[in-house]
A and B are shown apart, each in its own frame.
Chain A
Amino acid sequence: MHMNFSADELAFEQKVAAFVSENLPADIKDKVDRGIELTREEVRRWMEILGQKGWAATNWDKKDGGPGFTIAEKFLAEDAIFMNGAPKMVHFGTRMVGPVLLAFGTDAQKAKYVPKILTSEEVWCQGYSEPQAGSDLAQLQCSAELDGDEYVVNGTKIWTTSAHCADRMFALVRTSKEARKQEGITCLLIDLKAPGVEIRPIITLDGKHVFNQEFFDNVRVPVSDRIGEEGDGWKIAKFLLGHERSNATYVSMNKRNLRKLKEIMADQRADGERLADDPGFVRKLADLEQDMLATTTMAMRQLAAASADKPVGAEASIMKLRVMDAYKQCHELMMEAGAYYAQPFERGHIRGEANTEWVGPDYLYRMSPDYFESRAMSIAGGSHEIQKDILAKRALGL
């Protein structure tokens, strides 16, 4: 039993780190650092840089066009990418649509979509949730009716992250109301530029534009853009759940946020000293850092198990719960560190549209918005309550 990465693995990490520091555009790095919303162009620029290096799909095998990293390398690559200031991005293409196409797609579909996913030329989003179908996803109603060799799609999707930056959506739609709810669901790939698609931005409580609602009004989708058979949608979504919970990303995010928190503590003053010397605050920091150490250790345990081809199972849900809790806690502390300066809020700054001076130190500006944003971590992608239900059922047999 040991917890060390090999010399090769560490050298690999260095290599990734070097690549990111050389190639991450300074303007993007600066915006990330200050928590300013990235534009569609910026998101795509960075994704393409990674794509050209062949690192957009860190989780893909060589035979599929990925870099064929080992599990440890994947972990280290993610870590190096984040720790060097890259934006947090939702890689729906490489993490979701890609694996699905590889597993269930036709040759034609693979040829059409996979290369552009690998280079990030095409950006994807995930259309699952609907106003009436959240935790109870099987309740979804967005309908697709067959008309010749096309589906006609009507209905709405909501909370769709980055739909406004995306070219295409991977959607779950209802093709039958007859059978069991789960069996009437089908996967479609929808072109967001198709006639009849309307995207309405939804501003989140932190003032950013993160997600959207889409309306589909007689949108025509060729049958050739259906994945699997009609009614296979639920099975495919379940397949993805296993892939989606790559919470290792958040382990690295947490590490980066912790670093930021420490910088803030070193700069903020309290009682004439640095906040970093305030025993009450240091204690909270220690508590958080201990928590993060525990989740990191757990992540390593899972990583080691996965590398040894042992089933990871329920532990993935545990990771989601604990990593997201730490994420939220860290943001809360950063906001707390700001004291009064957590209060000023000008949306233009957060969105990168203002040309006035920041009020107070510029790093403080984003702290409360980030805190508000962080609340989503226990809601999106299967809420904490749902994760616990899953664990109760799968891991404990309750």
Chain B
Amino acid sequence: MDFELSEDQVLLQESVTRFVADNYSFEQRRKLVDTDQGYSDKQWSQFAELGWLGMPFAEDVGGYGGTPVETMVVLEEFGKGLVAEPYISTIVLGGGALVHGGTAAQQQELIPQVAEGNLKLALGFAERQSRYNLADVQTKAEKSGVDYVLSGMKSVVFGAPTANKFIVSARTGGAARDEGGISLFLVDADASGVSVRGYPTVDGMRAGEVTLDGVKVGADALMGAEGEGFGALETTIDYAIAATAAEAVGAMSALNDMTLEYIKTREQFGQPIGKFQVLQHRMVDMFIAHEEAKSMAMMAAMRIDDEDPNERRKAASATKVQIAKSARFVGQQAIQLHGGIGMTDEYAAGHYFKRLTMIDRSYGDGDYHLARFGAVS
């Protein structure tokens, strides 16, 4: 048992911390997320140079062979600054799908481009009716000679507006909500029949509705065996849960720091409000909520690559439940303890709160994962 980071991991952490300190002050971030694109191309290139974009990929496909622990380290620091670049959508979701579901040829071709920062991916897995069930896929892929024709719509696809390629789940067989019969396809963003309605999300990131209207793709766009994409998709989402858990932990830690500092300095009734015992105990509960979330994010980073899929599911769901509990509490109480100023858009706390709230709206909320955890444990 060892909960310490290795020397290399500590170095990585330091470099991400430095990046966030230099580029993600609250004002800098506000400016950035208010631009049309919502993030910076320059910073994306910088990620590539620093090796963060290739981090989780195997060395033989152009990556740096990092483990989920490295991803945790990067995202925890990202969370502290609410980094807006599409790291999760391209690296964790898109990249993850390539790793878990792509053919060797697809990996060889695409991962180096991702690692160099020249290719952005987005993964379309949710649909209007699906909520968090990954098997509830209505988008169809019909064989047409050697090609496939895709039609349907993918909902709230993170990173969609600037993705060069989509990976989408589509039904090649099976009935509604069957796990069998789901296939993953690579689709060029500019392919004919693809349209994207991009929009900002509540937390200042970007997503879009991706409509596939008779999009023709070749057999080489199919990832893995036909009808067997569900496993890769589920694994990818579990990895994404581990990654966002770390991001949430970072965001909670920043929010707690900010709130603690505030209640130590804000004076009412002739004393810092942090002298009132109700607020002290509340702050302690927030501190505990963060510590618990951190423990679970670490657990997820250590267990998410377990060979036993049930162990992986258990780790992912238990972690997501914890994040839901902790993030909700920390977010809500941070606003409460700030009073009026906490409610304003011009103060950082609300932005952390919003990101934390949206993390619970992604990959399954607390209720969803509590049921899943109950089913697998």
**Interface flag for B373 (CB, 8 Å):** yes
A199 to B4, CA, bound (A): 50
**Interface flag for A303 (CB, 8 Å):** yes
Interface positions of B from 1 to 22, Cβ below 8 Å from A: 1-6, 9
Task: Provide the residues of chain A in CB contact with B274, threshold 8 Å.
Answer: 398
User: How far apart are B74's CB and chain A's nearest CB, in angstroms?
Assistant: 14
Task: Provide the residues of chain A in CB contact with B260, threshold 8 Å.
Answer: 396, 398
**Interface flag for A64 (CB, 8 Å):** no
- Contact partner of A290 among B5, B6, B264, B322, CB < 8 A? B322
Asked whether, in the complex, the Cβ of B291 is within 8 Å of the Cβ of A318, the reply is yes
DSSP class of B's interface residues: helix, strand, loop or mixed? Answer: helix
A369 to B370, CA, bound (A): 29
Task: Provide the residues of chain B in CB contact with A307, threshold 8 Å.
Answer: 1
**Interface flag for A174 (CB, 8 Å):** no
Say yes or no: A301-B371 contact (C-beta < 8 A), given A294-B322, A388-B284.
no
Task: Provide the residues of chain A in CB contact with B287, threshold 8 Å.
Answer: 318, 391, 395-396
**Interface flag for A389 (CB, 8 Å):** yes
| Binary contact readout B296-323 vs A (1 if CB under 8 angstroms, 0 otherwise) | 1011011100000000000000100110
A398 to B284, CA, bound (A): 10
Which residue of chain A has its CB nearest to the CB of B256? A396
Asked whether, in the complex, the Cβ of B302 is within 8 Å of the Cβ of A286, the reply is no
**Interface flag for B40 (CB, 8 Å):** no
Say yes or no: A72-B377 contact (C-beta < 8 A), given A294-B296, A298-B291.
no
Task: Provide the residues of chain B in CB contact with A305, threshold 8 Å.
Answer: 3
Asked whether, in the complex, the Cβ of B291 is within 8 Å of the Cβ of A315, the reply is yes
A to B contact number (C-beta, < 8 Å): 109
Most interface-central of A4, A293, A389, A397 (chain B CB within 10 A): A293
Asked whether, in the complex, the Cβ of A5 is within 8 Å of the Cβ of B373, the reply is no
A298 to B319, CA, bound (A): 13
A322 to B299, CA, bound (A): 17
Asked whether, in the complex, the Cβ of A290 is within 8 Å of the Cβ of B321, the reply is yes
A318 to B294, CA, bound (A): 13
**Interface flag for B23 (CB, 8 Å):** no
**Interface flag for A297 (CB, 8 Å):** yes
**Interface flag for B292 (CB, 8 Å):** yes
9-residue interface stretch from B27-35, B275-283, B345-353: B275-283
**Interface flag for A193 (CB, 8 Å):** no
Ordered nearest first, which 7 A-B pairs have the shortest CB separation? Answer: A286-B374, A392-B280, A304-B3, A297-B295, A298-B295, A388-B284, A391-B284
Q: A interface vs B, CB < 8 Å?
A: 1-5, 72, 282-283, 285-287, 289-290, 293-295, 297-298, 300-301, 303-305, 307-308, 315, 318, 321-322, 385, 388-389, 391-392, 395-398
